[in-house]
Copies of this chain bind each other. A is one copy, B any other.
Amino acid sequence: MSDFARLEQELDIALAAIPLIDPHSHINPLAPTARSLDDLLGYHYYTELAHSVGLAKDVLSPEVPPKETVRQVLRHLERFDNTVQYTWFLHIAREFLGFDGSRVGERDCDALWDAAEKVFSRPDWEAEVLRRSNVEKIFLTNDFDDPLTGFDTQRYVPCLRTDDLVFHLDKPTVRSRLAEATGIEVGDAYGLRRAIGKLFEHFVRHDARACAISLPPRFSPMPVSSDALSSALRDPDQSAVRAMGVFWMLAEFCRDFRLPFDLMIGVNRGVYQHGVYQGQDLFDQRTSLILYADLFNAFPDVTFCVSILNSGQSQELVAYTWIFPNVVTSGHWWYANIPAFIETDLRARLQAVPKTKQLGYYSDAYKLEFILPKYAMYRRVLARCLARDFVVERGWSVAEAVELARLLLRDNARRIFRLDGTTGSVLVNG
């Protein structure tokens, strides 16, 4: 092992000791862990890749017994055992399910299924996964009408997800869910403002710490007059004006309620029409953060935590974060959550974005078990970047490099989302 490899390893071990704040996930706090192997291999990364190499969609239907579905996914897994997504599952199998092979596939189906049955039903399983993943707090993605009850909001931090409000308010189901949640039948901009105000009150009362949304590549936020928004609320065809108006109103509420706004920029929904559930979305690299200039200018008091789907925008994100006090970088999202892209994107952020303005990573996980392998992957890349560009190149000590990492893995999230009771600005205290 070379000196450099040893240094990388030393850093990797040191980083693993930092308790994590995971600022974005899709965990259901009422069922945070997997109940069966199906809950792991039903993750869209596996179903969509299996479909991509030939798995018929109907194998995933509820009529098929879960164990049979799992067996089919495992069979196809062998065709993408080169991918990093595969390694997440392998890591879970080895870490949590007692698997000791180096490749996993169809022949392991029975053993893994049985191990999962046993392990996942342990009464202390949730606590065990949290402990072994070294994660302290995990942000949720809550529908606007989520009651937010029945779980520990200090562990599972609520976050108001607003895609439905911005993009689907023309749908009767969304309108009636909104009426149900707020007691207000929205007919115009004024009613909408009252309704959304109630949602924010509800969320903040239940310790929500962020508002979040995913946005298509061409979305460009602009203010909309109350009259125009009222008109768009009555006319289903005015989806663009309605989306802009609702979005802008949400930014105003983020300002008033002092909530950071997570912008997840760049996804086109339903591109592959015949894709599996959650495996239909892609992107268009022709997008720019310049589309958000008006927003960033208009809300200097709102912290925008920006995730990009398109790594080709990585330099833009670096530059916009460097210039705008209210913009911070946030994680490595979805199709950009691959070591090759993370390394390129992370190196630039570490070299040119203030260390206090980087939310290093989030798991995006649906089940707690995925936090461990995904963060492990990220920390490996982070350790390499720190080793090369800071310890070797600049002569930093390992301890100094670890302190930098601690900001990315924990302390920036605590400050930016006011988890430690501070002001929630991007400013460091003191």
Contact = CB atoms under 8 A, between A and B. Distances in A.
Interface stretch (A237-245, A314-322, A367-375): A314-322
Interface stretch (A20-28, A78-86, A152-160): A78-86
Nearest to A271: B293
B285 A49 contact: no
Interface string A383-396: 00000011011110
B282 A82 contact: no
Given A53-B354, A340-B344, A425-B54, A282 B323 contact: yes
Contacts of A344: 340, 344
A273 interface: yes
Interface in A27-64: 48-49, 51-54
A288 to B, nearest CB: 4
Interface residues of A, number: 83
A52 B323 contact: yes
Considering residues A84, A274, A323, A389, which has the most beta carbons from chain B within 10 angstroms of its beta carbon? A323
Interface string A94-115: 0000000010000000000000
B357 A83 contact: no
A312 interface: yes
Identify the 4 closest CB pairs spanning chains A and B, nearest first.
A80-B354, A54-B427, A340-B347, A340-B348
Interface of A: 2-5, 48-49, 51-54, 79-85, 87, 102, 268, 271-275, 279-280, 282-290, 293, 296-297, 300, 310-313, 315-316, 318-325, 335-336, 338-341, 344, 347-348, 350-357, 380, 389-390, 392-395, 404, 425-428
